[in-house]
Structures are given as structure tokens and as C-alpha cells.
Chains A and B, each alone.
Chain A
Amino acid sequence: MNSEHMILGVALTNSFGAHPAAWRLPHVNPEAYTDIDVTVEHARTAERGGLQFVFIADRLFLHGDLAVSNPLFNMDPIVTLSAVAQATERIGLAGTASTSFFEPYLLARQLKTLDVISNGRVGWNAVPSFEPDAFANFGKEPPAREKKYERLHEVMQVVQALWGSWGYEAGKPDQQEGTPIRHM
């Protein structure tokens, strides 16, 4: 109880800021959307401030009017967080990934790899897509409203089962014995 602290995270989603005209400010790099060094710098600043995590939201379609405002979302959350992981040590890395269009094996592999190479700092905001514009990018129709979460439940269970499939008891590789892992 006495060790309870507030937890802070920062949304790095588009590298510009929450205001749709943030990109126009004189001290803002209008190319921040594609410049990973900008995102990395923001993450390091957050880490310096002791924030618990950075967060990258996501949508799988073109959102907003790019004629007058910067993109609201990131080029790719998982790829971006992989780069940020290399430049930070303690801060958590949380990203949104839709369960609607990735095979669970691919999601499980990418997220767990990122977790392993960042030494255990990854979080996943698992969401179902529901927008017709997102489904159109995959040549598909969105599910009925009452079935919005149906695939998400399956994907979550398959992903978590895959995450646990290399058991803690599989051991460490032993060069002398020549047995890197044990079958369970």
C-alpha cells in the first residue's frame, strides 16, 4: 500500500503531438512521421522522466485528412517499437495490434521476440478492428456488431498458448551435454 505510485505512460503515436496542426509548429520536424530518431528521442526523454511506458495506438486505414493534418497513427507500431527497444533500457513498450488480420502465430512471434530482445518490456493492446475502411484494406467485410470480439477471443488464446509453449522448465542450453532444451 505504501509503495503504490501513480503509473504514467506517454502516447508516441505519430511523433508530432495531439493537435492536428502540431506538424506546422516552427520547432517541429514535419518529417517526424518517418524519422525514427525523433521517436527514439521522445522515448528516451520519457525514460529519463521515469515514465513506465510508451504507447503507440493504431488504425489499419488512412485516418483523418492528410491534406491539412499530419497522420494520426504510426508507420507501423511493432517495427517502430523494435527500433525504440534498441535505444532504451527500462521503459515499457506498448503497442496496439489488431487481432482481425494477423495470423495469431505471426502476432505471437513478433510480440514475444520484441519482449525477449527488450528484456521483458513489451505490452500488447489487443483490439478488434471493426471499421469498414480497415477491412477494405484486406479485401474483407467487417463482422456483424455482435460478433466483433469473436475472433479476438480466439486469437488471444492461441497467442497466449504459443507464448507458453516454450516452457520455463525447458532449461538452458548445455554445451557439454549437447542438449539445448528438453521435450516436455
Chain B
Amino acid sequence: MTEKKLILGLALHDGSGALNNAWRAPQVNPENYANFEANIRYAQAAERGKFAFLFIPDFPAVRGDIEHGGVRNIIDPMIALTAISQATSRIGFVATGSTSFQEPFNHARQFKALDVLSHGRAGWNAVTTSDPAVAANYGKPVAERSERYQRAHESIQIVQALWGSWQKEAWIKNQASGQYIDSSKLQPVNLQGKYVASRGPLAIPPSEQGQPVIFSSGGPSPHLLALAGRYASGFIGEVWTIEDGRAQRAMVRRAAEEAGRDPDDIKFFAGIMPTVAPSVREGLDRRISILGDTLKAQVPQLANMLGVQIDRRRLDEPLTTEQLSGAYPSRDPRSGIALDVARQGWTVRDILAHGVIDYHPTVVGPAALHADHIQEWFEAEAADGFWLSPDIFEDGVDAFVDEVVPVLQQRGIYPSDYIGTTLRENLGVAEQYGLDPRVVGTED
């Protein structure tokens, strides 16, 4: 079958899991943040499940709730992924790196070094920084949006140009003749932007995939779409419904087309936060045992989402017929899902345990339910693939890989093995080395 297949990625952060309080779960070693062996195991499990990539979101600042909430961020993306690269052979690595506070030459060098030593498995989620807490760590104010994006465009173009500056045929390495490289094929890039610049060249040869793959992530603002449309081969989305997914995927594809590219050159990934369990009840109980009192604190938000009064003391009762008949979804995109769950007659505690206030759609229960969700979105063209944030990494990655992945494979929508050895091949995106001539207008 040559039909296109689903692509999966796994988000990694502090080694605990996506659930609030995940670090307190009994099966979690709370020191995983600094003990990297656990993350290596999760990466190897994802590789067993033929995941195309690991995705590292990044928020390089300490959040206010660290005292009880934990760190919720990887210790350092590049160091972590380089370490993981030595214990894996196929899975790709997409690390977030902000263009706002890093020099393009440094980004170009570190990402291409990782790409080369991992044999073509690196990707860069290029983002701008708008959070004052992060900016403060660099001793700088948050720049205006137009300046942040201008710097991002310049940075990515310089990085890609530096990547291409050691041309593909440059490396002669003829021990007999003594010619190491063809100097005419390792030349400066001489790029000067308004905010960043570099002369080059960068003395790193092509990897097996040429150069790292660029990703974008976030909500589809016009600024972000213009950036993603020009450079990104993957888009990490945040969508709650199939309709959202279809709309955002279409926007991202259109942005690529407007930049002169093929819309199939950019893959859209929707998030999912799975809890895999033998039954829905057991899945809810697993979540409740970890979430504890944090569920009660979500009651007012649920009430707002549904436009009803909910008594915090009646957590173990379903909403009354009266409440349900008066309920209507608010503008929060998760409200419709919350209302659907409420109408199924679950108690307030169980409604919340369904993850209706989480950051991504949550599926709780046996493998077939997860496969149904994924298949429905995929076939509705709401996503080219998914990035997973499991409830608890320690057993959640294995459960998904060993139970859900085989179902997806049986249904013929997920590959039974890696398509290739590089991230680019496993994403099914086009070759690129250096700048894209369609985007920077140097074609012909």
C-alpha cells in the first residue's frame, strides 16, 4: 500500500509525565529530571513503536508553581538529545531553540553537529520568545512582535545558509593525493540582516539527511504562519477538535503554498494526552489517584466552560438534568468536549478526570479508543500525525507502544517499520540543503 501513513512523535520534558502531580506518582522516580537514564528508556520505547521523532518543548525559566508542581521542562534540549542519540539509532530529535537570544552561528553549529553525529536525525523547532520570565534570564526585555519575527526570519535564513555552506561535493578526503576538501565548495555566506549576521562558512559537512529539519509550533497567528510557511517541514499544533485541526492544517498548508512550496512539504501534528488502561473506569481511577486535590481546584473552570453553577462538595455526583439542560459551551475550545462528557452521565470528578481542561485532547481507556481517535482525525485530514504527551512516562509510553501502535498498524494507517534512517525520510518531507530557492527567490 502506498497510501500515506500516520506519523507519531513523543514529547519529552522532566521525566515524569503530562498529568499534574505526575512526579508524585509512585512508579515515577522524582529525580528523573536530573537522572537522564529514564529519558533514554522512554526514547527507546518510542523507537520500538517506530515514532518518527522526540519533541522537546522548552520554557527556559523557573515557573511559579515549582514548589509543588515540579520543573516540567527538560534540563537542556541539546545536551539531552545528544545523549539520547547515543542510545538510539532511528528516532529523530526535534529540539526547541529560540531565535530571540541565540546567535545564528551557534544554532547552526550545534544543530548540524547533532545532525551529523546522529546520522541525519536532528530537527530544530525555531521559536521566538515572548515570555518576560524567559527574557529576564537573558537580561533583556521582550522585543515587539514584529522585531521578534524579523529576527526569526533572519536567523533561520542565516542558519540554513550556513548549513549549506559546506557543499555536498566539497569533501574530497583523498588520502593519496592529499586533497582534503575542494575549497571552492566551502565558501562564506556573507549575510547581513537588521538584527543578526554571519560571514561563515560553517565547517560541518552534510549529514545523511543533508541538514536538520525545521519545525514551527504554536497558535496560527499571521506572523507564525508566514514563518512556518517559508521554512518549516513540521508544525506542532495545539488543537482540541477535528474542525480546529482541519482548519489549522489547511492554514499551514496554504502558508507553505503562498511561500512557493508544495503543501505536502509541511506536516501538521496535533497533540494528544493518552491514558492507556484496560477500561475507561480503570483509566479514570489511575488519573484520579495521581491528580488528587488538583481536580477539585478545576471545578470553577469547568462551571465557567459549561455556563452552570457546580457545587464543589458534590464532586461525586453527575450534573443534574436541570444543570445539563441549562449548560452551553463557552468560547473555550474545550467546552464542547466537556459538555459531551458531562452528558454521558459521569460524575463531576470523572468529567474532570477525562482531562477536559488539559492542554490537548485526552483519550482515557483501552487501545481501541485511542486508535479510533487517531484514525478519525487522520482520515478527516485534521492532522498528518500526532505528538504524544503521555500521562506518566514511566509506564505510559510502553502502554501506548505495546497496545495502541499494533492496533494502528493492523488498521493499515501506521507503518510497521521505519521508512528510512533519517528524520526527513521518516517525516516524508522533501530534500533540502542550504536555503530553499523557492522561498528566498534565488531560483533559476
Contacts and interface: CB of A to CB of B under 8 A. Distances in A.
Contacts of B204: 34, 75
Interface string A74-103: 011011101101110000000000000111
B79 A82 contact: yes
Contact of B101 (A34, A69, A106): A106
Interface stretch (B174-182, B233-241, B279-287, B295-303): B174-182
B198 interface: yes
B201 interface: yes
B109 to A, nearest CB: 5
B60 A180 contact: no
Contact of B78 (A34, A69, A79, A173): A79
B200 A69 contact: no
12 contacts: A26-B175, A67-B183, A75-B117, A79-B117, A101-B106, A106-B101, A137-B199, A137-B200, A138-B103, A172-B31, A180-B30, A180-B68
Contacts of A86: 83, 86-87
Interface in A4-51: 21, 23-26, 28, 30-31, 33-34, 36
B116 interface: yes
A105 B134 CA distance: 10
A63 to B, nearest CB: 8
B31 A173 contact: yes
Contact of A178 (B68, B103, B201): B68
Contacts of B173: 23, 30-31
Among the interface residues A136, A137, A181, which one has the most CB atoms of the partner chain B within 10 A? A137
B198 A139 contact: yes
A158 B89 CA distance: 37
Contacts of B117: 34, 36, 75, 79-80, 83
Contact of B82 (A24, A70, A82, A136): A82
B79 A23 contact: no
Contact of A79 (B24, B26, B71, B114): B114
A101 B181 CA distance: 28
A75 B117 CA distance: 9
Q: Which 6 A-B pairs have the closest CB atoms?
A: A139-B197, A76-B113, A113-B76, A173-B30, A82-B82, A136-B199
A88 B179 CA distance: 34
Interface of A: 21, 23-26, 28, 30-31, 33-34, 36, 60, 62, 65-71, 73, 75-76, 78-80, 82-83, 85-87, 101-103, 105-106, 109-110, 113-114, 116-117, 133, 136-140, 158, 172-175, 178-183
Among the interface residues A60, A66, A175, which one has the most CB atoms of the partner chain B within 10 A? A66
Given A86-B87, A105-B101, A172-B31, 15 more contacts: A30-B175, A62-B201, A66-B203, A69-B180, A75-B109, A80-B113, A82-B78, A82-B79, A87-B86, A102-B106, A105-B60, A106-B106, A113-B80, A175-B25, A179-B68
A67 B83 contact: no
B142 to A, nearest CB: 15
Contacts of A179: 67-68
A183 B67 contact: yes
Contacts of B24: 175, 178
A113 B79 contact: yes
B137 interface: yes
A105 B201 CA distance: 26
B145 to A, nearest CB: 21
Contacts of A85: 83
A76 B25 CA distance: 38
B203 A71 contact: yes
Contacts of A31: 173
Contact of A138 (B21, B101, B105, B176): B105
A146 B137 CA distance: 28
Nearest to A154: B139
Nearest to B37: A117
A137 B159 CA distance: 11
B179 A103 contact: no
